[in-house]
Structure 1
Amino acid sequence: MYNLDLLRNPNNVSKIIEKSYECGVRSINLANKENLLKAFKIACDNGVEMQSVSTIGKTEMDYVFPNYEQAKMEATWKEDIENLAQFDNSVMLVDEFLVDTYDWDFITEILDEINGAGVPAGIITSFPFKTSEELIDSPILEDKSLFDFYMIPVNKLGYMMDIPDFRSDKQDELKGMLDKIDKKIIINKILAVGIQRPEEAFNFLNTLDFADMVTVGIASEREAEETFDILNKI
């Protein structure tokens, strides 16, 4: 729903949020970032009513060379939960740089805190295949009530996924693992960070029977109008 380069000017971001709302969008991915929250509050003051899909423990990690231990040390996840709880949250998701440590005790602690706030909980990963395989045998699946949502990157090109391509055999393999995990699946990176045109990406999304929700990044009012107009027609 926003581009980090825009966050210096909350008014510009609020206009994108408002345009997205006009196009039928009713949820926004929030993180505990001052200017982003300012932008959302401006939009709400202007009549926007959206639920939040909140990311908990988000840090400024390098996506190419992430330092997971540093992410664990820098993450202000308790503060994030407390601050983001002021919004109407449909779910709070533990950030991928924390989840992909596979430190299940640490992840469980965060999920317990989210549940204690009375909000549905979930996790994010950057590695849909590796993390799904790890999850199947992990202790956090033993408690069925610990979390309900699982966000993974998926797109037709396999871009920013942990595979060289995402052909039908890989699609079947991923679906098999997701069936075992048995959580509501949120898809991100469906546009392959702008490499794919929305119509092609959303048509592909429509073929995936494991997708329950999808998130997309929007950087302008025009982009919001074009993207959501296509999505609404599919």
Structure 2
Amino acid sequence: MFNGEINLKNRKIPRLLLGTSPFIGAGQFGAKASYYYSTLYKKPHNMYKIIKKSWEIGVKGIQLLPYKPIIKALEMAIKDGCEMKIVGTIRPNTELEDIELLDDLEAESMILHASLVDGGNFNYVETLLKKINDKGAIAGLATHAPYKTTKRILNSSIRKMFDIYMLPFNSLGYLMDRSIEEIENLIERLNKKIIAKKVLAAGKLEPKEALNYLKLKKCVDIVTIGVASPNEAKETFNVFLGRY
């Protein structure tokens, strides 16, 4: 199960996070993407209802893509008593603004978007990690290419500058650039706290199936899961909190 929190640098991060990719209608959702964009991103109150339901179920953290409508929805939920701990993403092209914004929101952690990390400019990545560490937040990296990028990180100077690593991880190998075993070996060598995303493989896996697989994997510390409705939140998060 993914109950409770992990302790890291005097901060506590929930082991189960509400993801926000559905809120922006991310491309991985295929034909549903435009529907999510119009019914969620364009309607912050609908996102608020999902955040509130997730919090009521027991999800106490959010993996935040800091777009204005999502922040508006989160602030609505916070005003309603839903104090969500924030693990925020630093987006490309708005890096410095996002660091300041997430600092104002008192984010527990700031994670550089995979587009920044996978692009290969580790000198710039190092600069951004230093800024995050200077803010006192837990610094992290995300990747869309866990095998390729992890190999590069292992031999780089940035290896000691971050503590959280977010990557796709699921039993189907969906959006993973090598076999699960090869990637697992690399991230064990990296020795960071791992946030698994895409754990449901964009809806290809049922929550129970995904959870049973992840329970076997000692390398995963935290999971982030995006849902598109309060009912979906109930069905998904009750499973990951062991209430099925």
Per-residue CA distance 1:42-68 (angstroms, 9 max, x = gap): 00011101110100024xxxxxxxxxx
- The normalised TM-score by structure 1 is 0.86
Aligned to 1:161: 176
Q: Secondary structure at the match of 1:157?
A: coil
Residue 232 of structure 1: CA displacement?
Answer: 1.2
Residue 161 of structure 1: CA displacement?
Answer: 1.1
Counterpart residue type for residue 49 of structure 1? E
- Which structure: greater strand fraction? 2
After superposition, residues 1-234 of structure 1 pair within 5 angstroms as: 1-2=19-20, 3=22, 4=24, 5=37, 6-58=40-92, 75-141=93-159, 144=160, 146-163=161-178, 166=179, 170-171=180-181, 173-233=182-242
Counterpart residue type for residue 187 of structure 1? A
Per-residue CA distance 1:105-164 (angstroms, 9 max, x = gap): 0100111111111111000000111111111111212xx2x110000101100111113x
Per-residue CA distance 1:140-193 (angstroms, 9 max, x = gap): 12xx2x110000101100111113xx4xxx42x323211221111110000001
Range that drifts further, 82-91 or 29-38: 82-91
CA distance in 1, matches of 2:208, 2:169: 15
CA distance in 1, matches of 2:46, 2:188: 40
Residue 194 of structure 1: CA displacement?
Answer: 0.7
CA distance in 1, matches of 2:90, 2:203: 25
Residue 31 of structure 1: CA displacement?
Answer: 2.2
Per-residue CA distance 1:70-111 (angstroms, 9 max, x = gap): xxxxx1100001011122322100000000012110100111
Q: Point out 4+ residue stretches in structure 1 off by more than 3 angstroms.
A: none
CA distance in 2, matches of 1:129, 1:117: 29
Structure 2 residue runs of 5 or longer lacking an equivalent are 1-18, 25-36
Structure 1 residue runs of 5 or longer lacking an equivalent are 59-74
Counterpart residue type for residue 162 of structure 1? D
CA distance in 2, matches of 1:195, 1:176: 25
CA distance in 2, matches of 1:203, 1:55: 28
Residue 198 of structure 1: CA displacement?
Answer: 0.7
Aligned residues: 209
> Is the 1:56–1:92 Cα contact (8 Å) retained in structure 2?
yes
Per-residue CA distance 1:19-56 (angstroms, 9 max, x = gap): 00011001101122110000000000111011101000
Q: Secondary structure at the match of 1:89?
A: coil
* Percent of pairs with identical residues: 39
CA distance in 2, matches of 1:215, 1:135: 22
Q: Secondary structure at the match of 2:104?
A: coil
RMSD over aligned CA atoms reads: 1.2
CA distance in 2, matches of 1:128, 1:22: 33
> Is the 1:51–1:87 Cα contact (8 Å) retained in structure 2?
no
